[in-house]
Structure 1
Amino acid sequence: MSDKFTPHPRSTELLAAGIPAEYHSLLGHHGVGTLVEKMGIVFTHMSVEKMVATMPVDGNTQVTGLLHGGAHVVLAETLGSFAAAFHAGPRAKVVGIEINATHHRGISAGLVTGTAVPVHLGRTLATHEVVMTNEAGQRLSTCRITNMILAS
């Protein structure tokens, strides 16, 4: 038996998205996905109690120069889904079944931070509130996402 560490097959992708190596076996089965890469989403904190990631405004704007409303939702769904998977564990699969968003303030430059906190963590459902803020800490949008937890 070899003492050498065999890296996760998606380690490069996962590390680029800010996912620590100790979580690769838990969250890395499918990687982070191409949309997360395209949007520039990077995780900065991962726990059952709170999941945090950032996303640049640059490259994710609508024609008027503001961060696209759909970009807010992509960040929220990414955080909520990863948070639900974190809660559910490596043997479960999570699928989004509902998401909603309220946009409070526009942003045209800088970095957006999304923070997901659990509203409900059950055996078959996980619901998270995700708040997006600008670099000054002002609330940009609030989303709620519910994921169904499926046995593998």
Structure 2
Amino acid sequence: MTNNPYTESLTRAGVPEEFHERFREHGLGGLTEKLGVVFEVMTPEKFVARIPVEGNEQPFGILHGGAHLVLAESLGSLAAGLAGGPNKQPMGIDINATHQRAASQGWVTGTCTPLHIGKSMCVHEIVMTDEQGRRLSTARMTNMLVDRRR
């Protein structure tokens, strides 16, 4: 493997080394890095990542709803990309979320599981929980799998 310009940021974000080459062109993306996303599990059956509440709050001192969606989309897109393989690229066509509870401190964990994995479309559910395991929000993301541009 040749030198990847994103190795340091990928390692800091918890991305296993076997996936580094997949992110050679753009890394994880600036927004994912700005929110402080840390990946804990990256398998076809489950993707798990977390973000700190601190630094990602809205003006009322709770985790911004958009941060929930960034975490959900980061997980859903990467899971779809893994499912599609190296010749396919995920293209998000729908994401929605329902917020059940607020978080004002600590870390929020997103757990992404597949609902449908097809040849041209993937659907994932992403559940965000607080450090006590309480559900904060539930998201669903649909990705088309398109041929990867070289």
For this structure pair, what is the TM-score category when the shorter chain's length is used for normalisation? over 0.9
One-letter identity of the residue aligned with 1:75: L
Alignment correspondent of 2:110: 114
Alignment correspondent of 1:52: 48
Alignment correspondent of 1:101: 97
One-letter identity of the residue aligned with 2:64: H
Deviation at 1:42, TM superposition (A): 0.7
Deviation at 1:145, TM superposition (A): 0.3
Alignment correspondent of 1:31: 27
Q: Deviations over 1:54-89 (max 9, x none)?
A: 100000001110101111001000000000001111
Query: Is the deviation greater in 51-60 or in 16-25?
Result: 16-25
Divergent runs of 4+, >6 A: none
Secondary structure in 2 matching 1:74: helix
Deviation at 1:31, TM superposition (A): 0.9
Secondary structure in 2 matching 1:94: strand
Deviation at 1:53, TM superposition (A): 0.2
Q: How does 1:59-70 map to 2 (within 5 A)?
A: 59-70=55-66
Q: Which runs of 5+ in 2 are unaligned?
A: none
Alignment correspondent of 2:3: 7
Q: TM-score, normalised by structure 1?
A: 0.93
One-letter identity of the residue aligned with 1:136: Q
Q: Which runs of 5+ in 1 are unaligned?
A: none
Secondary structure in 1 matching 2:50: strand
Separation of aligned partners in 2, 1:21 and 1:32: 13
Separation of aligned partners in 1, 2:47 and 2:98: 19
Secondary structure in 1 matching 2:113: strand
Alignment correspondent of 1:22: 18
Alignment correspondent of 2:79: 83
How many residues align? The count is 148
**How big is the alpha-carbon RMSD for the aligned residues of Structure 1 and Structure 2?**
1.1
